[in-house]
Structures are given as structure tokens and as C-alpha cells.
């Protein structure tokens, strides 16, 4: 039982660190960039500031912030219900990645009414949808859960 308590504290710290880094990166972009401003990093990566009114990668962009916040909260509740019953450390880590990403984007959406996205990966003129660090956390967590 003591192991579970320590593991839960470590997961909370891990989730908090990811959320903190995500929110700091979004705050930096918000303060230093104008909307739609781009900063060249290399031939395949730019920082490009956009406001995402949708969910991940702009899906459901026509919805209002309250509908999307409710959707985020429901998804988070479902994940937390699964998460609390998991005893394996590696699976907890994977769920922690997803939860941290969801919370980072949810906090950003509640504060601003949108999510700040800024990572633009491309090959020539073929651009992947612009995303942020929380999206990376969600995607990595889901991929690891699928593989596991």
C-alpha cells in the first residue's frame, strides 16, 4: 500500500511538471509572438502562433469554449476512472502523459477560450496541423498505451 501512495505522489508531480512546462511555453508564445507570426527554426520546423478553437489539431473548431470544456472534462473523468484502478507503474506513466496533456489544454481553454498552438512541422509546403506540448504528451501517451 505504501508503494501505491508513493507512486501516486510521483505521478502527480510528473503530471504537474508537464502541465507547468506546457503552460509556460504557451505563455511565452502568447507574450512574445503576434497571432499568426512565424519564427523559422530549420527547414522542417517553425514556431507559428495560432489560437486553436477546436480540440486536438483543430478538430471541432466551430464549437464554443463551453461545449469543448465539457467534452474535455468528460474525457478526463473517463480516463481518471480507468487510471485509478491501474496498479502497474508503466501503465500509470502512460495515463499520466494523457492526463497531463488534457489538463494543460483544458486549463488553457478555460483561461483563454482557446488553446495556443505553435509547433509547425513541415516538409516543403506540406504542413502537419500545428500543435503544442500538451498535444505531444497526449499523443505519446496514447501511442504507448496502444503498443503496450
**Residues annotated as part of the active site:** 117, 135
Letter string b/e over residues 47-79, b meaning 16 or more CB atoms within 10 A of that residue's CB? bbbbebbbbbeeeeeeeeeeebeeebeeebeee
Round to whole Å and give the CA distance between 34 and 145.
37
Q: Which three cell numbers stand for residue 59?
A: 478538430
Per DSSP, the three-state class of 126 is strand
Any idea what DSSP says for residue 134?
Answer: H
Give me the sign of the Cα torsion angle 133, 135, 138, 142: negative
Amino acid at each position: 500500500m505504501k508503494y501505491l501512495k508513493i507512486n501516486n505522489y510521483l505521478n502527480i508531480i510528473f503530471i504537474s511538471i508537464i502541465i507547468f512546462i506546457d503552460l509556460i511555453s504557451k505563455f511565452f508564445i502568447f507574450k512574445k509572438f503576434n497571432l499568426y507570426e512565424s519564427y523559422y527554426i530549420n527547414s522542417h520546423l517553425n514556431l507559428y502562433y495560432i489560437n486553436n478553437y477546436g480540440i486536438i489539431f483543430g478538430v471541432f473548431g466551430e464549437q464554443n469554449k463551453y461545449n469543448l470544456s465539457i467534452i474535455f472534462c468528460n474525457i478526463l473523468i473517463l480516463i481518471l476512472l480507468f487510471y485509478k484502478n491501474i496498479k502497474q507503474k508503466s501503465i500509470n506513466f502512460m495515463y499520466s502523459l494523457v492526463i497531463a496533456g488534457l489538463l494543460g489544454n483544458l486549463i488553457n481553454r478555460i483561461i483563454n477560450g482557446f488553446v495556443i498552438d505553435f509547433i509547425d512541422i513541415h516538409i516543403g509546403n506540406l504542413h502537419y496541423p500545428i500543435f503544442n506540448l500538451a498535444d505531444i504528451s497526449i499523443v505519446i501517451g496514447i501511442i504507448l498505451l496502444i503498443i503496450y
